[in-house]
């Protein structure tokens, strides 16, 4: 169940930011320095700085904000949600001061006081794009890349800090979600309209959430049945010109004062046979997906709280050559590739949380969270068969309290992770069972607004790899109110699932070779271990009295052990082996968030990656990684004076990707070689949304406005049964310009 202190921590992770201004008789605005701002009936407050700006964490005890200044009458304002506010005090002679509050809901925000930089993407940010599932939710986020991995299965994956998403811990309400057999397909199991917010953290995460986070953590919060602001009926319909159709229905039902439920339904399909590059292979597989969640929430409003949820997913895909195309019989030595890629999978997931907050000691709580997942997957790739079954269980007990006072907080607990895999690849069976009991301790030191620290360590015992420790630390320092510096350091470890994580290479003629280093463990390969170091600087400033930020992120990931998927040594093979040499990723990102004009949100970013890996004794750039990327997003939304007013919003995202190194195919015959590196290219997406009264939104968008696409995603496409056929050399978009239309309706 959601542990109450976790919910409290999330609330405290939000903050109110604003500026207090005075409007002079000539109509100009001037900042008010030293105005008092505090939450009613609490000791939580602050004063405005030399620019009139204040920052104040949201308070669990009050949502009424008091603003006062000498010469003005104090006023109390109710804050209903996460806002940036402009408070304008107009003083007139011999009259009471008039207070005008203009609020703007933040689409993304970072907790000003948190030692860990966590970007929270709200519903408003997610609705800037079609956002059909989690893999498509990061279009307006410059920190995460989304790319196709091959030209047959249509599978998408995310990348963070220049490394595959398998090194990012992806959780659903802080429970393990996208991992194991679903490490590549699991992103599509979380529809965008089910998501309340997404919390994105670079670098290692908290030790309380396990040891697997290396490059970052992505935690998804689903819509809550206990959230009274959540509408009881939410319908989303989506369709595009390629006949991709989706429907989502969310139903929230209060059952009693203590018990509430929510039903989340999803259905999607792709039926159009598309071949835009005329290589006689479908650009996207045909698929159908059914997905349902039923969840319950209980609270006695005294101290006990609990949750129970069940999810079931059925997912079917098929692809290959376009129907009706008869391959040249002279090169056809086996069965044709018409729909010769097939994948069927289903997932059953059950989870629960129970927590108790001591009524007289709100800082003290205890909770248990658990989950059980069963996955089945059957895949056929013409020349490669892969069938797998997984059972996974997780339990985590957490206790939180303080030392002496709230300056010194701690949480500690114990966890247990269980994984059982039964895989068959090319008629060879691989079975393993992993059991990992562990314990952790995390200390938080927060003496004031200027400095805070979170230090933690966990120890785990793996039945195959022995005992290991995972230390992590996060620090924050604020020498001035408008400058925030953060640092993070720590280690992570994970077990590679080489078949499930590299299915893209099965849709090719490449032979799979495993070069074991330890025949006593799974696949004969050791686990992956890495150290991550990070530094972040954020500067807050005003642009025409509108708050703006500029941030610089520096991160380095060093692998001590890694499983290498070597595509360079032999163009007709993929080799899996443990790292023998260096492997690292350096990441630099600069991001500016500003409103150059009123209501025009602008996000500009540049990112540089230096990602290298030792392959067959040679340190080389990691393939398919763009060293340079530039990003800009514009968002304009008309303000509503009344909730019933109609309004328009406009969003445009433009991304430039630099060149990417491609795997070496020079050993192939002339004419059957891929280029050494991809060209640079630009992608642009736009969306217009019309919001009507009664909770009705209509949205129209265009993806890939320029129509750019990779024309040669498949090597030797005319001879799919030959030795040089390869559909995994994908570096760009496979679809051209695509228009879509959708509807959102809340009641």
Confidence at residue 45, expressed as pLDDT on a 0 to 100 scale? 77
Where in the sequence is the domain holding 75, given as residue range(s)?
Answer: 4-105
Domain shared by 91 and 226, yes or no: no
DSSP codes of every residue in 131-153: --BGGGTTTT-TTEEEEE--SSS
Residue-level pLDDT at 27 = 59
Residue 503 belongs to some domain of the structure: yes
Per residue in 403-457, pLDDT tens?
988 899 999 999 999 999 999 998 899 999 999 999 999 999 999 889 999 999 9
Segment among 16-20, 125-129, 182-186, 713-717 with least mean pLDDT: 16-20
Owner of token pair 């059909």: 132
Find the range with the poorest average confidence among 8-12, 669-673, 731-735: 8-12
Residues 247 and 381 occupy one common structural domain: yes
Q: What pLDDT score does 644 carry?
A: 59
Q: How far apart are CA 373 and CA 393, in angstroms?
A: 6
486's CB contacts (< 8 A; 6+ apart) are: 115, 116, 117, 474, 475, 476, 477, 534, 535, 536, 537, 538
The predicted-structure confidence for 696-706, as pLDDT tens digits, reads as follows 999 999 999 99
CA angle in degrees (0–180, nearest 5) for 237-241-246: 25
Report pLDDT digits (tens) over 589-640.
Answer: 999 999 999 899 999 999 999 999 999 999 999 999 999 999 999 999 987 6
Average pLDDT over residues 155-173: 92
Is 238 found in the same domain as 97?
A: no
> Domain for residue 130, yes or no?
no
Residue 78 exposed, middle or buried by CB count within 10 Å (0-12, 13-18, 19+)? exposed
Number of domains present in the structure of the chain: 2
What's residue 81's pLDDT? 59
Q: What local confidence, expressed as pLDDT, does residue 95 receive?
A: 43
Checking if the pLDDT of 387 tops 50, the result is yes
For 475-526, write each residue's pLDDT tens digit: 999 999 899 999 999 999 999 999 999 988 888 889 999 999 877 777 999 9
Query: 592 and 740, same structural domain?
Result: yes
* pLDDT value of position 323: 54
What's 87's domain CATH number?
2.60.40.1120
Range with the lowest mean pLDDT among 168-172, 194-198, 499-503, 718-722?
718-722
3-state SS assignment for residue 320 = coil
Number of Cα atoms under 13 Å in the Cβ half of residue 344: 2
Structure-token pair, residue 666: 């020079």
Query: In the predicted model, is pLDDT for residue 468 greater than 80?
Result: yes
Instruction: Looking at the structure, tell me whether residues 366 and 236 fall in a common domain.
Output: yes
Identify whether 123 is part of a domain. no
The residue among 76, 105, 134 that closes a domain is 105
pLDDT score at 639: 78
589 within a domain of the structure (yes/no):
yes
Question: Do 91 and 225 belong together in one domain?
Answer: no
- Residue 324 confidence (pLDDT): 44
For the chain, first and last CA: distance in Å? 27
Last residue of a domain, one of 105, 121, 143: 105
Q: What is the mean pLDDT of the chain?
A: 87
Q: Six-digit token pair at 35?
A: 């105005």
pLDDT digits (tens, 9 = 90+) for 213-260: 999 999 999 999 998 888 899 999 999 998 999 999 999 999 998 999
Say if 525 falls within a structural domain.
yes
Distance CA 125, CA 142 (A): 13
Q: Residue 309 domain-assigned?
A: yes
In the prediction, which pLDDT does 334 show?
40
Average pLDDT over residues 460-473: 96
The answer on pLDDT for 335 being more than 60 is: no
Look up the pTM and report it.
0.85
What confidence tens digit (pLDDT) does each residue in 516-545 have? 987 777 799 999 999 999 999 999 999 988
Please tell me whether residues 418 and 282 are part of one structural domain. yes
Sign of CA dihedral 89, 90, 93, 94: negative
Say what percent of the chain tops pLDDT 90.
Answer: 59
In a domain, 195, yes or no: no
User: At 603, which CATH number?
Assistant: 2.40.170.20
Confidence band (pLDDT; 50, 70, 90) for 3?
very low
439: exposed, middle or buried (Cβ count in 10 Å: 0-12, 13-18, 19+): middle
Domain boundary among 105, 121, 140: 105
- Residue 4 is predicted with a pLDDT of 41
Per the listing, tokens 């002079």 go with 24
Average pLDDT over residues 646-653: 92
* Region 86-111 average pLDDT: 61
The model's pLDDT over 20-49, given as tens digits with 9 standing for 90+, comes to 877 666 656 777 877 888 887 776 778 787
* pLDDT value of position 586: 98
Task: Kindly state whether residue 21 falls inside one of the protein's structural domains.
Answer: yes
């Amino acid at each position: 169940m959601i542990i109450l202190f976790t919910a409290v921590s999330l609330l405290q992770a939000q903050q109110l930011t604003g500026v207090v201004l005075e409007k002079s008789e000539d109509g100009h605005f001037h900042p008010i320095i030293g105005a008092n701002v505090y939450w009613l009936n609490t000791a939580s407050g602050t004063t405005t700085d030399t620019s009139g700006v204040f920052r104040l964490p949201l308070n669990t005890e009050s949502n009424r904000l008091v603003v006062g200044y000498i010469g003005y009458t104090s006023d109390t304002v109710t804050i209903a949600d996460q806002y940036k506010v402009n408070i304008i005090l107009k003083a007139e002679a011999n009259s009471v001061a008039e207070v005008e509050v203009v609020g703007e809901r933040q689409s993304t925000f970072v907790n000003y006081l948190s030692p860990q930089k966590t970007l929270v993407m709200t519903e408003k940010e997610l609705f800037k794009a079609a956002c059909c599932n989690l893999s498509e939710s990061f279009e307006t986020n410059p920190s995460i890349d989304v790319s196709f991995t091959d030209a047959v299965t249509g599978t998408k994956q995310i990348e963070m800090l220049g490394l595959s998403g398998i090194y990012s811990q992806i959780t659903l309400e802080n429970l393990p979600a996208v991992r194991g057999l679903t490490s590549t397909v699991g992103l599509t199991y979380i529809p965008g309209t089910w998501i309340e917010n997404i919390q994105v953290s670079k670098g290692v995460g908290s030790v309380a959430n396990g040891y697997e986070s290396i490059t970052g953590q992505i935690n998804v919060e689903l819509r809550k049945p206990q959230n009274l602001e959540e509408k009881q009926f939410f319908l989303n319909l989506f369709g595009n010109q390629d006949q991709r159709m989706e429907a989502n229905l969310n139903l929230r039902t209060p059952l009693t004062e203590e018990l509430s439920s929510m039903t989340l339904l999803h259905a999607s399909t792709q039926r159009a046979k598309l071949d835009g590059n005329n290589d006689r292979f479908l650009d996207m597989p045909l698929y159908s997906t059914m997905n349902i969640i039923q969840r319950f929430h209980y609270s006695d409003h005294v101290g006990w709280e609990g949750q129970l949820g069940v999810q079931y997913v059925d997912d079917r895909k098929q692809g290959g050559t376009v129907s009706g195309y008869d391959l040249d019989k002279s090169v056809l030595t086996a069965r044709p590739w018409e729909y010769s890629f097939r994948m069927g999978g289903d997932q059953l997931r059950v989870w629960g949380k129970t927590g108790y907050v001591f009524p007289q000691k709100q800082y003290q709580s205890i909770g248990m969270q658990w989950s059980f997942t069963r996955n089945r997957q059957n895949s056929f790739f013409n020349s490669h068969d892969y069938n797998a079954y997984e059972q996974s269980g997780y339990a985590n007990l957490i206790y939180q309290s303080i030392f002496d006072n709230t300056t010194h907080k701690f949480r500690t607990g114990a966890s247990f992770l269980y994984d059982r895999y039964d895989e068959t690849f090319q008629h060879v069976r691989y079975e393993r069972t992993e059991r990992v009991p562990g314990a952790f301790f995390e200390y938080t030191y927060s003496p004031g607004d200027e400095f805070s620290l979170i230090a933690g360590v966990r120890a785990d015992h793996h039945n195959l790899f022995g005992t290991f420790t995972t230390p992590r630390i996060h620090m924050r320092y604020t020498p001035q109110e408008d400058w925030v510096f953060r640092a993070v350091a720590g280690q992570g470890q994970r077990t590679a699932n080489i078949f499930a994580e590299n299915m893209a290479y099965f849709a090719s003629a490449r032979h799979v070779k495993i070069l074991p280093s330890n025949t006593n463990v799974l696949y004969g390969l050791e686990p992956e271990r890495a150290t991550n170091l990070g530094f972040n600087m954020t500067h807050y400033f005003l642009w025409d009295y509108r708050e703006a930020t500029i941030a610089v992120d520096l991160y380095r990931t060093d692998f001590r052990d890694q499983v290498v998927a070597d595509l360079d040594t032999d163009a007709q093979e993929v080799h899996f082996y443990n790292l023998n040499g260096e492997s690292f990723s350096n990441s630099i990102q600069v991001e500016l968030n500003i409103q150059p004009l009123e209501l025009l949100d602008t996000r500009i970013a540049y990112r540089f990656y230096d990602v290298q890996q030792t392959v067959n004794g040679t340190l080389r750039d990691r393939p398919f990684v763009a060293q340079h990327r530039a990003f800009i997003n514009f968002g304009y939304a008309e303000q509503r004076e009344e909730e019933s007013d109609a309004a328009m919003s406009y969003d445009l995202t433009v991304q430039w990707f630099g060149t990417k190194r491609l795997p070496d195919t020079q050993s192939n015959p002339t004419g059957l070689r891929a280029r050494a590196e991809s060209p640079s290219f630009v992608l642009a997406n736009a969306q217009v949304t019309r919001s009507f009264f009664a909770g009705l939104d209509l949205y129209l968008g265009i993806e890939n406005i320029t129509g750019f696409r990779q024309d040669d995603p498949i090597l030797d496409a005319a001879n799919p049964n030959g030795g040089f056929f390869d559909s995994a050399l994908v570096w760009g978009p496979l679809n051209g310009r695509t228009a879509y239309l959708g509807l959102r309706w809340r009641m």
